[in-house]
C-alpha cells in the first residue's frame, strides 16, 4: 500500500483523523499559517504591482523542514487545511514550498471536507482537486489591503494620539458604528406617551383590552395624561360592545440553521458567551472530541459560514429522525432550503452549522463534554433539528370593542400545535400557551362588563447600546466583514481599549472616540459602511474568478496614500486625558491615574518617566466578604472571566464567580477547589 501524508492545520484534527485511517496514512499539522508577510515591514511592493513579499513565519522554520522531510518519504501528499480562503492560502503556500523538491511534482493534491467524520474524510480522499486560486487571490487581496491600511494609518495614530494603537478596515467601521450609536443615545430626548387598558368581565374570565382610538382603522396616540383623562371622561360608565371579531390561524416558522453570526448572537443571548469564546468552543467541537461509544469525532460541521444551506442527505436524515422520535406530523416536508432574505452576498461553499451525527444527542455527548462545550453543542443540535420541523400553529383572535365615542382592541392566541417549539424556543420566556388557556367565545354585539381602567405613563427609550451579539448582527446586515472576522474584530476593539464591555453592553472610551474622530475626518472612505461592504463584494468577485485582485488594490491604494500624507501634515496631536484617582503616589505624592495594560487596568504615576511607580488597580465590589467581613474586590482571570474575592487574600481565600446560574453547583464546586491556583494566575496590574 502506498504511504500517504495528510497535512491539516491543527493538532486536534490530527488526533481525530488518525482514528479514521490506517497505518499507511501519516497525519501532521501546519499549526496555522507557515508563510506570511514580515511583521517588521510593509511587505508589499507598491512599485511593482502590489506584489506581496512572503517569508517563513519566525519559529515555523523547523516545522516546515519537518513537513518537507515527511513529504519526501510519502507516495501521496494531501493538503487538507480548512475549507475557506485562509485554509486555501495555507495550502497554496505549502504547495509552493513542497514543489521546490522536484520529486513532489506529481504527488500533491488538495482535499477539503466540511465535517471531520470518517465518511467525509474518506470521500474527500476519493475526490482530490487542485488549489482554488480564486480563493487564494481573495485571501491575498484582503491580506494586502488590510496590511496597507494597518501599516500606513497605525503609525499616524501613534504619532497623533498615542503608541500601540491600530486601525483596520473592518475594525474601524465597527468602532464608528459603536461611536455613532453612543452619539444617538447621548442626544436622545425622551418623549412622553401614555397607554390605557381596561379589564373586562366575560363570564368568569377577565379580559384585557387596549385603547385604540376614534376610528377602527387608525390607532390614536395618547401623548399626555390629559389625553387619557379626556377618553375616560368620554367613555364614562358606557358598556363595552363587541363590534367585530376576527379569528384566524397564525404560523410561527421554524428558525434557519445557524450561520457563524447567528450562532454567535444566540450563544451571547442564551449562554452569555463572548464571540471569541463561542468560536473557540465551536472550533473544538468541529475538530474532534472523544465521545464514549463513538471514539474521536467532529461533532459539528465547519464553523465559518454565512450559508443556511443543508446537504440533501443531512436534510433527509434529520426529517427521518424527527419522524421517528417526534412523529410524522413534526417533520417538515421536502428539503428546507432558504434563500438569503436580505440580499447580502452569501458564500455558499459550506453548509450551515449542524451536528454531524444526529444519533449523538446532547444527552449522549454530555458526559464526554465540558460544561460549555455541552451547552453550545446542545444549542447547535436543537437549532438544526428545529430548522427541519413544521411551524408552530396558533389560533388567534382579534376583536374591536366600542365604548362611548372610542374603540378598544383585544387580541390573543392559543397554541394548537407546538411544531418546532417542542425542540427549540426562539425566546426563553416564550409562552407556549400563546396568551390564553382558551380563546374567549366573543361574538359581534356581545356586551362586556367593565372591571377597571389601567392608565400608565411611559417615555420613549433611546437606542440600545451595542452588545457583541447586536454588533455582529449589524455588521452582517451591512455586508461588513465575513464570518471569520467578527470575533477578532470585537476582540481587537476590546484589547486596544477603544471600547469596554459592561454587562454585555459595549461602551466607547475616550481613546476610542479620539481614534474614531481622526478616522472620520482623515479617512472617511475607510470607515464608510457602503464602501467597506462594496469592497467585500469585490473580494467575493475575486474568489469567483471574476475580478483581478491587484486591480482592486491598485484602485484603492492611491487614495489611501494621499489621505495619509494629508493627515500627517494637517492633523494636530490629540492629547488623551488619563482618568485621575484619589490615590496618591507613594514616591512623589501626585494623584495616580488609570492606565490600561495587556491584563486590564492598573494605576500609574502621571510623573512618568521621572517617577515610574505603578500599583494594581483595585475595584471594590460593593459588598462584604461573607467569611471575614472585609470588602470584596472585582477581578478578572487570565481567561477574561470576572470573579469576586476578599481584599484580604491570601489571608482570606473567599472567592465567587460573577453571575452564578442555575445548575452551576457542580461547576462552582470544582472552580472553588482550584481557587488558590486561580488567585495565583490573576495579574492585578
User: CA–CA distance from 565 to each of 518, 605, 628 (Å)?
Assistant: 14, 35, 61
CA–CA separation, 299 vs 289, rounded Å? 7
The bridge status of strand 55-56 relative to strand 76-79 is: unpaired
Is 302 assigned a catalytic role? Answer: yes
DSSP label of 400: E
Q: Quickly tell me which residue has 474614531 as its cell.
A: 516
Helix (H) or strand (E) holding 316: helix 312-326
User: 3-class SS at 363?
Assistant: helix
Q: Is 681 exposed, middle or buried (CB count within 10 Å of its CB: 0-12, 13-18, 19+)?
A: exposed
CA–CA separation, 603 vs 615, rounded Å? 5
Sign of CA dihedral 19, 22, 23, 27: negative
Helix (H) or strand (E) holding 416: strand 406-417
Pick the closest to residue 6 from 527, 339, 633, 22 (CA basis).
22
Contact 116, 301 (CB under 8 A): no
User: CA–CA distance from 356 to each of 279, 295, 385 (Å)?
Assistant: 17, 14, 12
Q: Quickly tell me which residue has 427549540 as its cell.
A: 424
Given the residues 302, 326, 381, 466, select the one marked as catalytic: 302
CA–CA separation, 393 vs 413, rounded Å? 10
User: CA–CA distance from 518 to each of 63, 157, 328, 497 (Å)?
Assistant: 42, 8, 60, 16
All three cell numbers of 4, joined, read 500517504
Q: Write a three-state SS string for 333-354.
A: CCCCCCCCCCCCCCCCCCCCEC
State the virtual CA torsion across 385, 390, 394, 395 in degrees, nearest 10.
-160
Q: Quickly tell me which residue has 416564550 as its cell.
A: 430
CA–CA separation, 397 vs 411, rounded Å? 5
- Give Rg (Cα) of the chain: 30
Pick the closest to residue 423 from 364, 362, 493 (CA basis).
362
Pick the closest to residue 420 from 176, 638, 253 (CA basis).
253
HSE-CB at 193 with a 13 A cutoff on CA atoms is 10
Q: Is 208 exposed, middle or buried (CB count within 10 Å of its CB: 0-12, 13-18, 19+)?
A: middle
CA–CA separation, 128 vs 31, rounded Å? 22
CA–CA separation, 381 vs 390, rounded Å? 16
Which of the residues are catalytic? 302
Amino acid at each position: 500500500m502506498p504511504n500517504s501524508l495528510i497535512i491539516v492545520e491543527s493538532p486536534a484534527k490530527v488526533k481525530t483523523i488518525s482514528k479514521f485511517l490506517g497505518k499507511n496514512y501519516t497525519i501532521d499539522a501546519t499549526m496555522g499559517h507557515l508563510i506570511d508577510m514580515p511583521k517588521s515591514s510593509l511587505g508589499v511592493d507598491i512599485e511593482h504591482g502590489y506584489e506581496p513579499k512572503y517569508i517563513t513565519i519566525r519559529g515555523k522554520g523547523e516545522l516546515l523542514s519537518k513537513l518537507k522531510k515527511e513529504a519526501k518519504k510519502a507516495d501521496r501528499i494531501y493538503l487538507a487545511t480548512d475549507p475557506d480562503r485562509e485554509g486555501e492560502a495555507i495550502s497554496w503556500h505549502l504547495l509552493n514550498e513542497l514543489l521546490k523538491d522536484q520529486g513532489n511534482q506529481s504527488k500533491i493534491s488538495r482535499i477539503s471536507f466540511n465535517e471531520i467524520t470518517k465518511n467525509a474524510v474518506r470521500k474527500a480522499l476519493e475526490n482530490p482537486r487542485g488549489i482554488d486560486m480564486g480563493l487564494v487571490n481573495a485571501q491575498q487581496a484582503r491580506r494586502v489591503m488590510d496590511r496597507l491600511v494597518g501599516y500606513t494609518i497605525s503609525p499616524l495614530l501613534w504619532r497623533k494620539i498615542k503608541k500601540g494603537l491600530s486601525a483596520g478596515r473592518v475594525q474601524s467601521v465597527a468602532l464608528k458604528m459603536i461611536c455613532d450609536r453612543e452619539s444617538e443615545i447621548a442626544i436622545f430626548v425622551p418623549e412622553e406617551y401614555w397607554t390605557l387598558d381596561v379589564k373586562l368581565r366575560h363570564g368568569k374570565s377577565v379580559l384585557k383590552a387596549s385603547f385604540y382610538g376614534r376610528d377602527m382603522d387608525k390607532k390614536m396616540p395618547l401623548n399626555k395624561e390629559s389625553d387619557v383623562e379626556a377618553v375616560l371622561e368620554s367613555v364614562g360608565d358606557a358598556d363595552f360592545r363587541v363590534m367585530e371579531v376576527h379569528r384566524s390561524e397564525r404560523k410561527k416558522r421554524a428558525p434557519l440553521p445557524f450561520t457563524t453570526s447567528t450562532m454567535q448572537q444566540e450563544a451571547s443571548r442564551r449562554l452569555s458567551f463572548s464571540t471569541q469564546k463561542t468560536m473557540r468552543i465551536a472550533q473544538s467541537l468541529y475538530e474532534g472530541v472523544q465521545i464514549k461509544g463513538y471514539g474521536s469525532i467532529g461533532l459539528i460541521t465547519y464553523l465559518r459560514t454565512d450559508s443556511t444551506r443543508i446537504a440533501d442527505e443531512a436534510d433527509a436524515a434529520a426529517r427521518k429522525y424527527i419522524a421517528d422520535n417526534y412523529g410524522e406530523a413534526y417533520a417538515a416536508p421536502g428539503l428546507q432550503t432558504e434563500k438569503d432574505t436580505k440580499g447580502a452576498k452569501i458564500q455558499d461553499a459550506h453548509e450551515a452549522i449542524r451536528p454531524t451525527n444526529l444519533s449523538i444527542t446532547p444527552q449522549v455527548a454530555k458526559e464526554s463534554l465540558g460544561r460549555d462545550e455541552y451547552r453550545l453543542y446542545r444549542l447547535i443540535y436543537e437549532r438544526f433539528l428545529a430548522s427541519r420541523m413544521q411551524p408552530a400553529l396558533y389560533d388567534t383572535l382579534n376583536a374591536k370593542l366600542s365604548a362611548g365615542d372610542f374603540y378598544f382592541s383585544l387580541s390573543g392566541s392559543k397554541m394548537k400545535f407546538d411544531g418546532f417549539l417542542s425542540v427549540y424556543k426562539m425566546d426563553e420566556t416564550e409562552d407556549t400557551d400563546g396568551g390564553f388557556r382558551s380563546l374567549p367565545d366573543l361574538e359581534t354585539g356581545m356586551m362586556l362588563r367593565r372591571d377597571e381602567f389601567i392608565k400608565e405613563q411611559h417615555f420613549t427609550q433611546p437606542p440600545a447600546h451595542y452588545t457583541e451579539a447586536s454588533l455582529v448582527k449589524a455588521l452582517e446586515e451591512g455586508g461588513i466583514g465575513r464570518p471569520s472576522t467578527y470575533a477578532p474584530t470585537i476582540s481587537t476593539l476590546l484589547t486596544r481599549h477603544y471600547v469596554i464591555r459592561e454587562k454585555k453592553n459595549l461602551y466607547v472610551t475616550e481613546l476610542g472616540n479620539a481614534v474614531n474622530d481622526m478616522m472620520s475626518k482623515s479617512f472617511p472612505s475607510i470607515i464608510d459602511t457602503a464602501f467597506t461592504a462594496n469592497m467585500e463584494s469585490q473580494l467575493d468577485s475575486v474568489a469567483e474568478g471574476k475580478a483581478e485582485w491587484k486591480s482592486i488594490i491598485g484602485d484603492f491604494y492611491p487614495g489611501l496614500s494621499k489621505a495619509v500624507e494629508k493627515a500627517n501634515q494637517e492633523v494636530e496631536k490629540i492629547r488623551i486625558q488619563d482618568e485621575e484617582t484619589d490615590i496618591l503616589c507613594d514616591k512623589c505624592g501626585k494623584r495616580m491615574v488609570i492606565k490600561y495594560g495587556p491584563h486590564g487596568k492598573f494605576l500609574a504615576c502621571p510623573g512618568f518617566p521621572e517617577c515610574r511607580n505603578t500599583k494594581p488597580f483595585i475595584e471594590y465590589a460593593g459588598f462584604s466578604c461573607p467569611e471575614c467581613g472585609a470588602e470584596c474586590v472585582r477581578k478578572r482571570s487570565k481567561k477574561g472571566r470576572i470573579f469576586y474575592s476578599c481584599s484580604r487574600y491570601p489571608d482570606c481565600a473567599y472567592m465567587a464567580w460573577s453571575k452564578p446560574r442555575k445548575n452551576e453547583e457542580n461547576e462552582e464546586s470544582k472552580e472553588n477547589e482550584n481557587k488558590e491556583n486561580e488567585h495565583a494566575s490573576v495579574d492585578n496590574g
